[in-house]
Amino acid sequence: MQFKYDLEGGNFSRAGHASSEVKKILKQLNVDARIIKRIVVALYEGEVNVVAHAHKGVVMVDIDEKRIYIRIEDEGPGIPDINLAMQEGFSTASASVREMGFGAGMGLPNIKKNTDQLNIESEVGKGTVLEMTTMISS
């Protein structure tokens, strides 16, 4: 099964739209609630990052019996130093992002914690691709 959702930079009221849909789908597939939570928390943080840091993006989701694969691709400033960005507390978020309850530099580390496999590629001035794979059945 494949699904696709568009993300809009700067539009906080839409952040969480893709995660919400994916949560409904995984519930229908009877995936364990704790696994669903890990997947949608990671996706949600990824969505928030596009909204907070990039111009626009797209979420692609592919689900089979064993695993869920999610790819978040954005057009934006990119991440100059991924290792630094992965550190807890590192953030370049604006004051307005912090007023929304984000921008504490906990997003990427939390995405890492909640996915079985995470791959990040980024090109400064172009954009970022996050690939997350998580097993949904043993």
Partner 1 sequence: MKISEIVDVLNARVVCGSDKLNTEVRYAFASDLMSDVLTLDTENLMLVTGLANLQVIRTAEMADIFCVVFVRDKKATPEMKKIAEENNIVILESPYSMFRAVSVLHDCGLQPVY
Residue ranges that bind ligand ADP, judged by CB under 6 A: 49-50, 52-54, 74, 76-79, 85, 90-93, 102-108, 128
Which stretches of the chain are DSSP H helices?
A: 17-28, 33-53, 82-85, 95-99, 107-114
**Burial class of 6 by CB neighbour count within 10 A (0 to 12, 13 to 18, 19+):** exposed
Binding segment for Mg ion among 33-41, 67-75, 102-110, 111-119 (CB under 5 A)? 102-110
How many CA atoms lie less than 13 Å away from 45 in the CB half-sphere? 21
Using rule CB under 8 A, residue 90 touches partner 1: no
Tokens 């539009």 correspond to: 11
Beta strand 56-63 with 67-75 is antiparallel
In the complex, minimum distance from the CB of residue 14 to ligand ADP, in angstroms, rounded to a whole number: 15
Quick one: which of 40, 107, 128, 130 contacts Mg ion (CB under 5 A)?
A: 107
Using rule CB under 8 A, residue 104 touches partner 1: yes
Residue 138 C-alpha from the chain's centroid = 23
Residue 125 interface partner, choices partner 1, Mg ion, ligand ADP, none, CB cut-off 5-8 Å depending on type: none
Residues near partner 1 (CB under 8 A) = 12-13, 15-16, 19-20, 23, 33-34, 37, 40-41, 44-45, 48, 100-107, 110, 113
